[in-house]
Structure 1
Amino acid sequence: MTCSEFLAQLDDLIDDKVAAPLRSELEEHLRGCEHCVITLNTTRKTIEIYRTHELYELPNELRERLQSAILAKCRKC
């Protein structure tokens, strides 16, 4: 299994919607790929943080600056 194949299954792995044979392949990949271990752990932690914190409104000025920065970055790609 490649890292790209692993990443394609990441959502289902986190949601525990992976059949046993595929889960074994994913776990085997994780045993030999520190990059994917970090990606999995970081994704899980991000979801956990998101679920445990309240959402709040950004001040308009900050929201506009953030949106402008994101759009500028996207134009460069």
Structure 2
Amino acid sequence: MTCTEFIAQLDDLLDNNVAAPLRADLEEHLRGCEHCVITLNTTRKTIEIYRSHEIYELPGELRDRLQKAILAKCRKC
């Protein structure tokens, strides 16, 4: 399984809507792909935060850097 194939199945995996053989393939891919492990964990955490309606306070320095990066990107468009 490739990373692209894994990502294509990510929604179903998160919804626990995959058949056992496909789940085994996805889990096998995760054992050898740190990138997809990070993608899976980050997506799960994002969904958890969104569902809980938690307000996540960014540290001031990070917030400032993020805002500057967004504004710089917008100016280029």
| Fold similarity call, TM over 0.5 | yes
Could you tell me which runs of 5 or more consecutive residues in structure 2 were left unpaired when the two chains were aligned: 56-70
Q: Which residue of 2 aligns with 1:11?
A: 11
Aligned residues: 61
Q: Which residue of 1 aligns with 2:26?
A: 26
Percent sequence identity over aligned pairs: 77
3-state SS of the aligned residue for 2:39? helix
Alignment of 1:45 with 2:25, yes or no, is: no
Note the aligned Cα RMSD (angstroms).
2.1
Could you tell me which runs of 5 or more consecutive residues in structure 1 were left unpaired when the two chains were aligned: 56-68
CA 1:54–1:32: 2 relative to 1, 3 Å? closer
Structure 1 segments of 4 or more deviating over 6 A? none
* TM-score computed with the length of structure 2 as normaliser: 0.70
* TM-score computed with the length of structure 1 as normaliser: 0.70
Q: Which residue of 1 aligns with 2:61?
A: none
